[in-house]
């Protein structure tokens, strides 16, 4: 004899699965395989909404604040369209995807904090770039909800291949691809921002991150930068003569111009680099940081100076400046990295800065009779 309670349980167990229109739609199924212990071990230290685990499709986002919220998900999607499925804040082995009854491999994977990933997987009928035999694919994959980071890829002649002067970081995960000539080519990737993510200062934001692939191979992967650059391609050469020259890199970020009309003119930051020897300076080169509605807020300049010399970099701010984020490096060693607020509104009222780099002596910079050089070297882990 079967009890009423047994009959009731049997009825609950026969819930009908979601059915899709066989002619036009297909079923996307997201199955979560993570356990409670694994969920607890991989939780981030912050508590903000932006670091919660989530599932996102066009027009639909589900946040998972607690383990009990993590239930399998099903939806019918047009099989002839391409749909991006984004999952974030979980280990990559915490879920399985299937579309139209077939397992689907996870697509793009980027770091989401130090323990988890954010992934983007395309399902349906998706058209991928088809490069010619003489071309290679540049594939830039980018995740950011923290702060605007313009980026671009240039060829050896300075022509822009990929450009995001304003990355609209609220779009979260983006991907840029381009087919470019493979042989006898060199490309430069640049990215920068006005502030750098830090886990102490910004615990409620996941760190921005990116992957850069060229011809199917990883060129650069990072989740920590204020400014970054890399060259790739078979025709790339060192920018300076490594035997007798040092490379100086000047990065800056100034977004005043992108928010102004074409009729409004901002004054530019002016800079110069001098070689200093025995308390005398010889001008090496000078320039300005370009600004305007048609200019990228991200500026990058490389300079070559004699190796083992003392170089002095001077920059002056215009009177209407609010702030400039910039960095200076020589042969990979950073000498200055800061957000400079020169105007009196912020209390500094310092419109000039000088940075000395290289092999500088007392005689190069100081009065040897009454002064000495203060030299501080820092190493980061």
Q: Is 165 exposed, middle or buried (0-12, 13-18, 19+ CB in 10 A)?
A: middle
Report yes or no: 268 and 323 within 8 Å, Cβ to Cβ: no
Domain ranges of the chain: 23-124, 135-232, 245-365
What pLDDT was estimated at residue 264? 63
Residue 258's pLDDT band (cuts 50, 70, 90) = low
> What are the Cα distances from residue 250, in Å, to 155, 210, 227, 286, 335?
19, 22, 10, 12, 10
Residue 260's pLDDT band (cuts 50, 70, 90) = low
Please compute the mean of the pLDDT values over residues 13-20 and round it to a whole number: 63
Where is pLDDT greater, at 170 or 277? 277
What pLDDT was estimated at residue 381? 53
Sign of CA dihedral 64, 66, 70, 75: negative
Residue with tokens 């035997």: 243
What is the reported pTM? 0.82
Residues 6+ apart with CB under 8 A from 282: 274, 275, 276
- Residue 92 DSSP one-character state: G
Q: How far apart are CA 107 and CA 39, in angstroms?
A: 22
pLDDT digits (tens, 9 = 90+) for 149-177: 889 999 999 999 998 866 444 457 888 99
Where is pLDDT greater, at 1 or 51? 51
Q: With a cut of 50, say whether residue 23 has pLDDT above it.
A: yes
Q: How far apart are CA 374 and CA 297, in angstroms?
A: 34
Sign of CA dihedral 194, 199, 205, 207: positive
Q: With a cut of 50, say whether residue 178 has pLDDT above it.
A: yes
pLDDT digits (tens, 9 = 90+) for 104-138: 999 999 988 778 899 999 999 998 889 999 999 99
Q: How far apart are CA 22 and CA 212, in angstroms?
A: 38
What pLDDT was estimated at residue 255? 80
Could you tell me the maximum CA-CA distance found in the chain, to the nearest angstrom? 108
pLDDT digits (tens, 9 = 90+) for 216-229: 999 999 988 889 99
Q: Which two tokens mark 327?
A: 């960095």
């Amino acid at each position: 004899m079967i009890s009423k309670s047994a009959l009731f349980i049997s009825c609950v167990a026969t819930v009908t699965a979601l059915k899709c229109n066989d002619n036009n739609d297909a079923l996307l199924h997201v199955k979560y395989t993570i356990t409670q212990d694994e969920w607890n071990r991989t939780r981030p230290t912050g508590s903000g909404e932006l670091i919660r685990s989530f599932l996102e499709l066009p027009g639909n986002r589900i946040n998972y604040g607690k383990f009990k919220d993590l239930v399998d998900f099903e939806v019918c999607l047009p099989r002839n369209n391409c749909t991006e499925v984004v999952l974030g804040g979980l280990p990559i082995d915490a879920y399985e995807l299937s579309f139209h009854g077939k397992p689907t491999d996870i697509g793009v994977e980027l770091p989401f904090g130090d323990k988890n990933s954010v992934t983007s997987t395309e399902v349906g009928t998706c058209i991928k770039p088809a490069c010619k035999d003489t071309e290679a694919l540049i594939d830039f994959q980018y995740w950011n909800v923290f702060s605007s980071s313009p980026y671009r890829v240039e060829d050896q002649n300075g022509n822009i291949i990929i450009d995001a002067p304003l990355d609209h970081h609220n779009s979260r995960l983006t991907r840029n691809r381009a087919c470019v000539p493979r042989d006898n080519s060199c490309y430069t990737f640049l990215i920068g921002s006005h502030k750098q993510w830090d886990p102490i200062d910004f615990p409620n934001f996941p760190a921005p991150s990116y992957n850069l692939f060229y011809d199917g191979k990883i060129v650069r992967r990072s989740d920590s930068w204020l400014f970054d650059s890399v060259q790739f391609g078979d025709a790339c050469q060192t920018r300076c003569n490594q035997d007798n020259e040092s490379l100086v890199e000047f990065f800056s970020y100034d977004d005043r111009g992108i928010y102004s009309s074409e009729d409004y003119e901002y004054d530019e930051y002016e800079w110069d680099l001098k070689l200093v020897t025995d308390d005398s300076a010889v001008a090496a080169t000078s320039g300005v940081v370009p600004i305007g509605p048609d200019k990228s807020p991200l500026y990058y300049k490389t300079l070559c100076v004699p190796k083992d010399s003392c170089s002095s970099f001077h920059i002056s701010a215009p009177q209407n400046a609010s702030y400039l984020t910039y960095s200076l490096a020589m042969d990979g060693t950073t000498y200055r990295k800061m957000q400079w607020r020169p105007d009196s509104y912020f209390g500094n009222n310092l419109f000039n800065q000088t940075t000395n780099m290289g092999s500088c002596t007392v005689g190069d910079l100081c009065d040897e009779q009454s002064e000495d050089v203060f030299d501080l070297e820092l190493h980061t882990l």
